Amino acid sequence: MTMEKAIYPIHQHILEARQFTRKWLEEEFFPEVDYTADYDQQQIIFQPLKGSSICLLFYEPSTRTRMSFFQAATKLGANVFNTENAKDFSSAIKGESLIDTVRVVNVLGFDAMVIRYHLEGGAKEAAAASKIPVINAGDGTGEHPTQALLDIYTIYKHFGRIDELRVALVGDLKHGRTTRSLAYVLSMFNGVRLELVAPPELQMREDVLSFLQENHVSYHLSDNLTEVAPKVDVTYMTRAQKERMTKALEISSSGVCITDEVMERVPSKAIIMHPLPRSDDFGELPEKFTADPRVVIFEQVKNGLRTRMTILRMLLG
Ligand code: NCD
């Protein structure tokens, strides 16, 4: 296998986690990320996307996702155009529609666009108007499929399997797109048990719960991480997304944060994940636990770079 080979195009767009399959994850995606990781680890210069150009269009704040797509594309040799805060700095502020912006990106000859949009469905709307691949980097409270890919890869590398794992998704499951996409991906595996741990007003939305029921995925709702933590292999923390709450809710963080007591009860072989950013005031994963070997949040970031390098190669290589 050489880096130069054209890799089977997976899908024209990456819009939602349900477009992946278990077979694709195991037979194509995981091996390709391993392969990318080998190259990246050895700092081998390979530029399969030399001559390509990628447009990053972010209408919402982002640190990791935008930086890692930028870095992934650059490492692969592509040129990158990068708009941060496109809501204010693109013609959107003059009233331009999303689809007109997408048409412009197409006409200007970009080879792919990565979009983060503030409304659910934004990436699909963009894809419908685009001949070049559109990658959803988060659409409001909708989905974040590339985060789910890096998360499932991180879990797979730790346990060597996904089947039969017990996973707690914790925090603001109502607004969090990372946990929604991850729930869809986890449901592709056999015998996975989900613990959905959230304050009642921030529990997982009905669409995901119905999907889990229809697909016979076992799940349990809780608001008490102290009880759940000893029983799971993966504890996936998230912050309260205050910016998405329509009314000011007094959300109690008690029961959905990592505390000393929770930490004592997390098994030594379990892992604690977080898509980041973590929130100091909500306090779901305090700084003092960062160096604990069970906390793998920066491994997720590294896998994020390699995941994005891999999917850009798969789409454009
Ligand atoms: C998340 C996001 O933007 O959905 N961050 C990320 O992409 N790693 C999580 C969040 O904003 O809380």
Which one-letter amino acid corresponds to residue 294?
R
Residue 39: per-residue pLDDT: 86
Q: Rounded distance, CA 250 to CA 46, Å? A: 51
Pocket residues: Cβ below 6 A from ligand 1: 64-65, 138, 144, 147, 177-178, 238-239, 241, 275-276
Q: How many angstroms separate the alpha carbon of residue 166 from the centre of ligand 1?
A: 22
Integer Cα distance of 255 and 284 in angstroms: 10
Distance 93 CA to ligand 1 centre (A): 24
Q: Based on the residue annotation, tell me whether 65 is a catalytic residue of this protein.
A: yes
Residue 3's pLDDT is 40
> What span, in angstroms and rounded, lies between the C-alpha atoms of 82 and 70?
8
Pocket-testing residue among 144, 239, 285, ligand 1, by greatest number of atoms within 8 A of Cβ: 144
Exactly one of 13, 75, 116, 166 is catalytic; which is it?
Answer: 116
Q: pLDDT in tens for each of the 317 residues of the chain?
A: 334 443 444 568 999 999 999 999 999 999 999 999 998 888 777 789 999 999 999 998 888 999 999 999 999 999 999 887 777 767 777 778 899 999 999 999 999 999 999 999 999 999 999 999 999 999 999 999 999 999 999 999 999 999 999 999 999 999 999 999 999 999 999 999 999 999 999 999 999 999 999 999 999 999 999 999 999 999 999 999 988 887 666 677 889 999 999 999 999 999 999 999 999 888 999 999 999 999 999 999 999 999 999 999 999 98
- What gap in Å lies between CA 78 and CA 76, rounded to an integer? 6
Q: Is 226 helix (H, G, I), strand (E, B) or coil?
A: helix
Q: Which of 168, 310, 280, 317 is nearest to 231 (CA)?
A: 168
Is 116 an active-site residue?
yes
Ligand 1: distance of its center to the CA of 51 in Å? 30
pLDDT of residue 2: 39
Burial call 63-86: b when 16+ CB within 10 Å, e when fewer: ebbbebbbebbebbebebeebeeb
Q: State residue 13 phi and psi, 5-degree precision.
A: -125, 160
The residue from 13, 144, 180, 278 that is catalytic is 144
CA gap 196, 174 in Å, rounded: 11
CA angle, 138 then 141 then 146, to 5°: 30
Active-site residue (options: 18, 64, 103, 124): 64
**Cα-based distances in Å from 293 to 220, 250, 269:** 27, 33, 9
- The DSSP symbol for 153 reads H
Q: For residue 238, which atom of ligand 1 is closest to its CA? A: 12
pLDDT at site 85:
77
Residue 10 confidence (pLDDT) = 56
Could you tell me if 194 and 155 are in contact, meaning their C-beta atoms sit under 8 angstroms apart? no
Closest atom of ligand 1 to CA, residue 172:
12
Please give the pLDDT value at position 9: 40
- Neighbouring CB atoms inside 10 A of 153's CB total 22
| 144 classed as catalytic | yes
